[in-house]
Amino acid sequence: MSSETTVAQPAVPDTALYRTLILFTLTFVTMLYAMTVTIANVSLPQMQGSLSATQDQIAWVVTFNIVATAVVTPTAGWLAAHLGRRRVMIIAVTGFGVASILCGLAGSVEELVLYRIFQGAFGAPMVPLSQAILLDTYPKKKHNTVTAIWGVGVILGPIVAPALGGILSEAYNWRWVFFMIVPFTLVALVGVLAFIRDPEISRPGWMDWTGFLALAIAIASFQVMLDRGERNNWFESTEVLIEAGIALGAFWVFVTHTLTTDRSFLNRKLLKDRNFAIGLVIVLLFGMLNFTPITLLPTLLQDVQGYPDSIIGLVLSARGLGTFIGFGFMIVAGRLDPRIPMVVGFVLQGAAGYAMTQFDINVTMWDVLWNAGIQGLGVGLVWVPLSIITFSTLAPKLVPDGTAFFHLLRNIGSSIHISLSVALVIRSSKVSYAGLAENVSPFNESFDLPWVRGLWGTETPRELGALSQEMARQATLMGYLDAFSFFWVTAALAVPLVFLVRWPRKEAA
């Protein structure tokens, strides 16, 4: 994708204290970005009501943020080569903070989605550049230790943000889930300005803009098609056909350009590595499982049971806590064959997804809490060994390009699965409501029986309205149950792929 020629140029005091300050600054920056991954999900139901948005429209707040991150992440190295890591970090943190303020001030769902795109685009370079700076700051013998400390930021963000965001959202309104990010942004910016320096002088790198732009257009068009498809009745709509045509055309340009040029955005040598190629497919499925539950569960709890934002925040935090436990286990079980925890992790996510298909209309907070925790545990068990396996046999010089595509596919998988799941909820809810409505009729003799009808009536408009509202609630739950079935099937598809990975015992040792 890009090449970078560097000249060693020490620019920072080489002291333990200074390196420690850099470590905590970069950890805080990483936590800042990780917070936004889940914080908006807490208030999705409140945003939907406040902005008069439909369920598929409010999902754009999540999906377009993920797509923006996916598209911009591969450019982080090229930007750092041209502007310097410190300058890129300052621009990223500042732009991220401004975009967060604009998200809180948005007056329509279209504005909110636009500002979330900016938030994802500015936030994209923060994590890869933080890791690169960290590894350059510390000697190689300390990389494992400092990476583990730095990884705490990734884990703490999804635990702290939903709980705090849910409390603020319930006490004030949804806008405060974005405003609360601003103080954290200011602290991160001060740390970057005070402690981050470019440890090297970078000369402008190279980037295949034809391949990058073609892939970016294909991803964006495909995502818009998925998000707008259900609303426009899919391929019966001219708009959807145009979006599909643009996506196919851009992807065709990307593929042909990749196959016919010597220096392409996707290095063809990457796909010749067996473990890396299989790892890309697995990480795509992993991405599909990663954010779908935390997008569906808040609206499920609100639509079906009317839970407040503070409770929804606790549910999402439970998932983050499960991930924390999974990461902790992998630290002490690092000598295991990585395929074992991967299989266990995917099985746990599938089991949790299947358990969610058993939810009924009286679903309790405890039902959702333990399922969210199990899902998070599965994520924690899969992520570390998946990263190890994917890059285990890849040539060191190909790792930077491989890392960019690895994270690109993970984010694309998340946005695609969320869009398809939301579309499935909407369509299944409509079909289920129609099926229920067929049985509510004066000509249905069983409905006249008191023990069948219960307290519901059909004699007055008010009784019919109440009954229709309850039917809509039941139909909505059925839609979510179908989406959860889609979730556990996706997890099951990932399990057999793990056994295709080659991991000799000598390598494991």
**Over the stretch 124-144, which tens digit does the pLDDT of each residue have?**
888 888 877 877 777 767 766
Q: How confident is the model at residue 443 (pLDDT cuts 50, 70, 90)?
A: low
Question: Tokens representing 327?
Answer: 């990461």
Compare 362 and 179 and report the one with higher pLDDT. Answer: 179
The predicted pLDDT at position 348 comes to 92
Q: How far apart are CA 504 and CA 509, in angstroms?
A: 9
Of 6-10, 51-55, 106-110, give the range with the top mean pLDDT.
106-110
pLDDT at 10: 44
5 pLDDT above the threshold of 50: no
pLDDT of 13 higher than 50 = yes
Q: Which pLDDT value is given to residue 101?
A: 92
Token digits of residue 265: 């955005």
What does the pLDDT look like over 444-466, one tens digit per residue?
A: 666 666 666 666 666 667 777 77
Residue 242 has pLDDT above 80, yes or no: yes
Q: How far apart are CA 143 and CA 251, in angstroms?
A: 38
Which of 17-21, 166-170, 208-212, 447-451 is predicted with the least confidence, judged by mean pLDDT?
447-451
| Mean pLDDT of the 385-398 span | 79
Tell me the pLDDT tens digit for each residue of 157-172.
777 777 787 788 878 8
Residue 354, judged by CB atoms within 10 A of its CB (0-12, 13-18, 19+), counts as middle
Give residues with Cβ within 8 angstroms of 468, minimum separation 6.
none
Q: What is the mean pLDDT of the chain?
A: 80
pLDDT score for 309: 72
- Which band of pLDDT confidence, cut at 50, 70 and 90, is reported for residue 509? very low
Question: 177 versus 200: which is more confidently predicted?
Answer: 177
Which residues neighbour 225 within 8 Å (Cβ) at sequence distance 6 or greater?
240, 243, 244, 247
Least confident of 12-26, 337-351, 437-451: 437-451
The owner of tokens 């300052």 is 90
pLDDT given for residue 346 in this prediction: 92
223-227, 280-284, 361-365: least confidently modelled range? 361-365
Q: Is pLDDT at 505 greater than 60 in this prediction? A: no
pLDDT (mean) for 473-485: 88
pLDDT of residue 508 exceeding 50, the answer is no
Lowest mean pLDDT among 190-204, 346-360, 389-403: 190-204
Asked whether the beta carbons of 309 and 315 are under 8 A apart, the reply is no
Q: Where are the beta strands (DSSP E) in 101-160?
A: none
pLDDT-derived band at 9, boundaries 50, 70, 90: very low
Q: Which residues contact 191 (CB under 8 A, 6 or more apart)?
A: 21, 24, 25, 28, 29
Percentage of residues of the chain with pLDDT beyond 90? 10
Confidence grade of residue 485 (pLDDT, cut at 50, 70, 90): very high
Q: Tens digits of per-residue pLDDT, 317-347?
A: 788 788 888 877 877 766 777 888 889 999 9
HEC string of 342-378 equals HHHHHHHHHHHHHHHCCCCCCCCHHHHHHHHHHHHHH
Q: Tell me the C-alpha distance between 436 and 407, whole Å.
A: 43
Instruction: Tell me what percent of the residues of the chain surpass a pLDDT of 70.
Output: 88
pLDDT category at 4 given cuts 50, 70, 90 is: very low
